Structure 1
């Protein structure tokens, strides 16, 4: 022993240096720390994060941002820690909000994987799902369709709360220009009276708006692999589910027809058209296109149509306008349009107390199509623009970042009272929200911003949500 040497009065082992975890600003803003201080940390609650990649997971665990005890499953077959940092960033936030919740990280890549992940959640007694993903065209945008049917089953039969991102499809202003990823309106024939030409005008009464401008740029995933959907255009119309009305889309660059979609709709096909293609990576600049929507001879105008853009595509201004021809209203993605999900919009954490919401945060209402009534969406807002390990010095923006804050909050509430069902959990989250827009629920903020402070106050009416609950 070194301390046995007479000249040495004191000895110790060298101090170790440990990584410092990064905590989302949303923990304090939402009041989650008050529940932590009161002893409620998500213990006993299982939360699944369904995402398209958990790249950097090992590093986040080594840094203390995600526990070593997480359970993982790769349904995509592409490798859990490949392609995207996105899922790791989401898991970090859930852990920040509910540090003792049991995390299950499930990687998917398509709709089939999604259904497999749902089955996993049911078979493994998951309590809450955090889903910061979205898609278009699985239904008419009214909360129905196969994906939303799965979410209905989760809540109504399996007792699982499904928390999902509302989407980032609303119009966004950058400097003086406004861009968009969504357009909805009636099919308007450019020259309906004198000489109908079957070409839609995007601004009613303006025959010069017979096309819409789209910009896109090549991009890669977080591993540097080429993405193959730089240009993604999905159009649907209100003739669901088996369309007799037949519309088509055509895409031109400055000189030529680039792509088109003209599937036949004759009463046995869905009212859907889509264009998806890759821009070569060596063409690393913005490409611009003109989108035309047409109808076949004899087909009616006046039907409501909706267009979503994916990949890097966005509607861009047409000179001399500074604003793209795009609409924020009804830009909710799927499955956030569903009745059985808790859909989350985003407020930048720096604007948390006053708003406004992130301008790109998707807005309601849902489509009043296929005999449905329009419903207000999103349901609530969470913070984005937050710090984390996965993205390093870059803030994590979007409804993707807001969603795991709400899922983590649900885990905290469930750890306070494990007998709560998904409806009761959602009721508590919504009733405690701080109103941010028009009185009551609105199509921008939902019920308002996430707020957990009232849950530890002595006068919180637990008996309304669970009469047998005895407050700890």
Structure 2
């Protein structure tokens, strides 16, 4: 005997929205209809219903006073929209190059179907529904404590430290009964008057009264979701939206963005609208949301038990033959389904065979569905029983209209152009009450005659939104491959459920990947099964897990630790407890969300620079595993926390920042790497180095403030491998120092192998340095750098005119490059490349550069580090600030540089930087230049030096220690047009 889940059932979900939605189908399959015909069974039935006069006579096609709502699938929404207007219709919504929703005169539908850009004309589909709650097994009880998720995720500690998500706006897409909304649990009630409520339903599902949300039987669900968000982020501001269709959902996203919402959470299911590879109308809505800077959290689905199955269909299945659902040697062509407790009976997400999705219509297998129910209760508790004769069953009338006769066959007609998908968002209502649940349905799937069969078996997927598959027939793997959840967009986070919430086991219902194209889902897991004040009992299901993760995102954004969009998603996926198999997996995703200790303020004590005798490699992902990630290369969006002081002879409490060389290698795509203090900067808010060519090696120098525990964080927007070499650190504890102070000078060019007079020691004519050669810079006679009292030079090193790819190593004059494991500059033959370095001086007070490939070498000196013989002073001591983007010409109010243009930029206005700072530690980036060129940044008088070099279209970064003018400004000059970005992470005292 199967066990009905008791009181918890209603808390997982309540009834399905759309009680008036009538799902019908023609009595005769239309498998061989012309490609220009309307073949959607639901739309055909609605056309027939609209064509019935009161007497039952059919209207003629010339009557065009009646219009009908339709969705048109298309790759050209502009052309389809124009056609709809031309035919006298009205466009009510659209998703770019995916879908147009419209109201169209009945008499013009056939013309619309023949429009070249119209791929499919169908009845509107719902954008979502509250997940089904009919279950065979009893969940392990949760903690039974309202708000328990805040302790389980460590959010309570963040609240105690003053972090509650203040200033962050969260949008919730769901169904709401606002009569259940209380100020104590949910905050101020959203309304049209206060601008916190949105409702749009162009489908006729009766979800809205004007622009206001209509509370229905599903309305408890959304209010319970809001309760969780407010538990997690009590200071966040909530905005709510209810929508009917996919295009309505996109309009809600537009509205959210206009209100300043940066986080969206949606705990709804969706019927199939694509092959499970992250494409389709709803996936496009996710992409649209990401383009507006929103991060989206979505419930991962509750289909791992009794909600999803996959069966191969042998190529030997004859025409008009029925699919065998049995796993073994037996034969079962009658799939038993038990209706759920919702008003929809058996709700289908759909039946699809994605292997045919991208084939032409003429090559797709065409299946039709038959629905039957038993006439007798004799075998109602034998789940595996199949009817032995047709006399045991009767058809289920899908449109429930006796005047139309028996309509128990459903066929979307793949050979006529329909996608390899049947029964999407279909409700099947049995009239019996047999079995333990809402009645028994038998489904048969038939391969229609005269349709092709491919060389490989079709993989038939059957997914339910509510109801139960035949006992023991379900599959877990692949159950999460559904719309929104299967999105490829890095700003989408699909959330699985750990239930009981304080445990380490995935909820038995929690859907699992992979997607059709083999990607991992869910992205993370979160607690579910804790008590809900709104429901008055445990709220289980991934519907409860998603808002937990969204609440964590609100805390992170409110603490200034993440910028909106994919960076927030990356940080949420980073702060997890890895469960199950090491690393991300299709059960838990990256792991169970878990906040670290609350953020602490950065040290603002002045520090002196302490160089290491030689660069120390503290992290190399090619051989060193990162927690939760293993050994690289990593996927884009990975976050790595590096203990940069481990093994160094210094206490982390006495270090404010480190000087590092960071190298990106083996990136699968272009992008950037950000190095920032652990838990003390906005992930994605600044950049440290940029990768313009996938797979290339790119190093960059940076001074990075150190966060809690002596750690820095690397955000690998482009993925790949990362290497961190520590050159030295800034030690605090004394207000002044003799050694370790930075003295900025007007940049001086000490070496240029292209120019007579600046040649390296021993050279007499301009020439590239040979492979394996070392060029020693001559100290300028009139240099601002003193002959004594210094330990290192701060230099900018450039490779230009290289004959092949290679790298440079800056080292003390007289030094031996043998055994060096780090590089200063990596270059190719395509364009110059530069990097900054702090290089200890040799016995002659100079430095040298070694090269692995023939190239010209340029060395500019921008300052020096004092030694113990210098005067005791505070000037040149370093103070960290939270990394901050001080300048970005991409802002509409600023604009790109023109060729040769110079701009004066104030840098002493950066938060935390003293007004009289002598210099700043910065990262310079050029993006989108139109030609090969260079950027020079200087205090007042333009020098004959450069800070970074770039090629056309490249994005190139270089760390820099920039001397400021007496008024705290610098001048940035571009030799070619392009954009300039300046990020500041600290300053030097005057």
Q: What is the TM-score when the length of structure 1 is the normalising length?
A: 0.81
CA-to-aligned-CA distance 1:4-63 (integer Å, 9 cap, x gap): xxxxxxxxxxxxxxxxxx842111000101111111110111100100x211x344314x
Query: 1:184 is matched with which residue?
Result: 310
Q: Partners in 1 of 2:345 and 2:263 — Cα distance?
A: 31
> Given the alignment of the two structures, is residue 236 of structure 1 paired with residue 236 of structure 2, yes or no?
no
Deviation at 1:326, TM superposition (A): 1.4
Q: Report if aligned partners of 1:134, 1:336 keep a CA contact under 8 Å in 2.
A: no
Query: 2:762 is matched with which residue?
Result: none
- Which moves more between the two structures, 204-213 or 422-431? 204-213
Aligned length: 413
For structure 2, list consecutive stretches of 5 or more residues without a partner in the other structure: 1-144, 191-195, 201-206, 375-392, 397-407, 601-707, 717-881, 885-911, 913-984, 986-990
Query: 1:222 is matched with which residue?
Result: none
Q: Partners in 1 of 2:216 and 2:326 — Cα distance?
A: 43
Q: Aligned to 2:442, what secondary structure does the other structure show?
A: strand
1:33 to 140, 156, 159: 156
- What are the within-5 Å matches in structure 2 for residues 259-270 of structure 1? 259-266=408-415, 268-270=417-419
Query: 2:278 is matched with which residue?
Result: 143
Give the number of the structure whose residues are more often helix, by fraction: 1
Query: 1:413 is matched with which residue?
Result: 556
2:372 to 248, 252, 257: 252
Give the number of the structure whose residues are more often strand, by fraction: 2
1:435 to 578, 581, 585: 578
- What are the within-5 Å matches in structure 2 for residues 4-15 of structure 1? none
Q: Partners in 2 of 1:404 and 1:41 — Cα distance?
A: 15
Larger C-alpha radius of gyration, 1 or 2? Answer: 2
Q: Partners in 1 of 2:241 and 2:572 — Cα distance?
A: 25
Query: 2:469 is matched with which residue?
Result: 315
> Given the alignment of the two structures, is residue 390 of structure 1 paired with residue 515 of structure 2, yes or no?
no
Q: Partners in 2 of 1:88 and 1:249 — Cα distance?
A: 37
- Which moves more between the two structures, 270-279 or 29-38? 270-279
Q: Partners in 2 of 1:439 and 1:285 — Cα distance?
A: 39
Q: Partners in 1 of 2:334 and 2:432 — Cα distance?
A: 27
Q: Partners in 1 of 2:464 and 2:172 — Cα distance?
A: 25
Q: Partners in 2 of 1:404 and 1:366 — Cα distance?
A: 23
Deviation at 1:113, TM superposition (A): 2.8
Query: 2:208 is matched with which residue?
Result: 77
Q: Partners in 2 of 1:229 and 1:123 — Cα distance?
A: 39
- Alpha-carbon distance change, 430 to 260 in structure 1, aligned in 2, over 3 angstroms: same
1:278 to 426, 429, 445: 429
Q: Partners in 1 of 2:280 and 2:273 — Cα distance?
A: 6
> Given the alignment of the two structures, is residue 212 of structure 1 paired with residue 335 of structure 2, yes or no?
yes
Query: 1:304 is matched with which residue?
Result: 459
Q: Partners in 2 of 1:165 and 1:273 — Cα distance?
A: 24
Deviation at 1:111, TM superposition (A): 2.6
Query: 1:464 is matched with which residue?
Result: 714
The runs of at least 4 consecutive aligned structure 1 residues that moved more than 4 Å come to 279-285, 460-463
- Which moves more between the two structures, 126-135 or 297-306? 297-306
Deviation at 1:421, TM superposition (A): 3.3
Q: Report if aligned partners of 1:45, 1:102 keep a CA contact under 8 Å in 2.
A: yes
> Given the alignment of the two structures, is residue 288 of structure 1 paired with residue 440 of structure 2, yes or no?
yes
Q: Aligned to 2:250, what secondary structure does the other structure show?
A: helix
Deviation at 1:185, TM superposition (A): 2.8
Q: Aligned to 1:151, what secondary structure does the other structure show?
A: helix
- Alpha-carbon distance change, 204 to 280 in structure 1, aligned in 2, over 3 angstroms: closer
- What are the within-5 Å matches in structure 2 for residues 368-387 of structure 1? 368=517, 374-387=518-531
Query: 1:224 is matched with which residue?
Result: none
CA-to-aligned-CA distance 1:416-471 (integer Å, 9 cap, x gap): 11662322212211122111111100001001101002453723856534971699
Alpha-carbon RMSD across the aligned residues, in angstroms, is 2.6
CA-to-aligned-CA distance 1:151-188 (integer Å, 9 cap, x gap): 11222x211001001100111xxxxxxxx111113213
Q: Report if aligned partners of 1:166, 1:336 keep a CA contact under 8 Å in 2.
A: yes
Query: 2:479 is matched with which residue?
Result: 331
Where relative contact order (Cα < 8 A, 6+ residues apart) is larger, the structure is 1
Q: What is the TM-score when the length of structure 2 is the normalising length?
A: 0.40
Q: Report if aligned partners of 1:346, 1:382 keep a CA contact under 8 Å in 2.
A: yes
- Alpha-carbon distance change, 218 to 168 in structure 1, aligned in 2, over 3 angstroms: closer
- Alpha-carbon distance change, 230 to 112 in structure 1, aligned in 2, over 3 angstroms: farther
- Alpha-carbon distance change, 334 to 273 in structure 1, aligned in 2, over 3 angstroms: same
